[in-house]
A = this chain, B = another copy of it.
């Protein structure tokens, strides 16, 4: 593992100094090769799929493992989109003359080497490689063992594309996927790895965060809230809360909990409950909300327990609570939420501003669906992940999350007195 680390560190120096044109050439070459090598990729993927079926893997895991023509087309297009983005590296900002005569500013540079740890999806190999190339970093990739042959085949195309562009093949290296100890080594080499980005279940991510000896850009829960304020456009609130809960229930930015101001509860909850009932959304309510939802035909109503306020369902379930003030709503969100994404539905400007300032979440929204919390929706062009931490990067993380700012000082022979 440390041999891989040494090679990655050396490659990272060349990548940091690589011209933008060379990085884009590598990305476009990779897109071309992905499209041209469809049959070879399918053959490698078939070996993984056969082994996974033989091992009795569940259907959803097989789906994630499958490198279909559509998946390949999507990652190839992703490479082209990243090639078309501005190069984040080399940007110099804020240069100001100081009284001593020196000029001081900051230059954006790559972090160096990142390690990515992920599960069965082989397409993450290409996503990580393309982000590394554009951001001038090297990376060490640790995919799932079930995707071994697929990842090998994809990594070979990445290496060829890097070499075609005159860049070091060691900028993107696979870490032996069969050795379970490899993850433990990868996350404990501060000399060779600058940051770890895990993707996968909460258990995996918590374990990595607990054991890592380098920084981790991590995403844990998405217990997101919509709060319907005392002054509100009810039709707008119905539309947004419906979308936030039901448009897709599995993403982390789907709403899990609805808070309604007492002044609107009687007008809002029966209508909202009818929408949820029609879509088969189970409602776990506080006593006041259940009393108002009682008459909704076909509603599945359950009394909420304390645990419900802390739960990310990722399912057709929502917890509902009536609150008496904006302060109570914000207290509830800051206490029970996961600091991911929370929205207020309101027509009251001071309340909107207070919610934006005082709710301690990575994304705070006014009159918009929590489902918008996403790197592409935010215009980042590419998303490395979503951070639920505050340090370094918060919320959707784009290419800039793989960079840092160094100081540049331009002098004419100044000395310190």
Contact = CB atoms under 8 A, between A and B. Distances in A.
Interface of A: 13, 16-17, 90, 96, 98, 100, 102, 104, 107, 109, 111-112, 194-195, 210, 213, 215, 233, 236, 239-240, 242-244, 247, 334, 343, 356-358, 360-369, 371-373, 377-379, 390-392, 394-396, 404-416
A407 to B, nearest CB: 4
A98 B378 contact: yes
B411 A16 contact: no
Given A111-B390, A357-B90, A392-B391, A365 B411 contact: yes
A270 to B, nearest CB: 20
Given A104-B378, A111-B390, A111-B391, A364 B416 contact: no
In the assembly, how many copies of this chain are there?
2
Contacts of A372: 100, 102, 409, 411, 414, 416
Nearest to A104: B378
The 5 closest A-B pairs by CB, nearest first: A368-B411, A243-B415, A236-B413, A365-B409, A371-B416
Contacts of A368: 102, 409-411, 413-415
B415 A239 contact: yes
A372 to B, nearest CB: 6
Nearest to A238: B413
Contacts of A98: 377-379
A5 B356 CA distance: 25
Contacts of A243: 415-416
A386 to B, nearest CB: 10
B407 A362 contact: yes
Given A415-B240, A416-B247, A408 B356 contact: yes
Nearest to A417: B247
Given A365-B409, A372-B416, 11 more contacts: A16-B357, A104-B378, A109-B390, A111-B390, A194-B390, A195-B391, A247-B415, A368-B411, A368-B414, A369-B416, A392-B404
Contact of A391 (B194, B247, B334): B194
Nearest to A215: B391
A168 B236 CA distance: 38
A112 B396 CA distance: 20
A364 B407 contact: yes
A126 B253 CA distance: 41
Nearest to A339: B406
Contacts of A210: 213
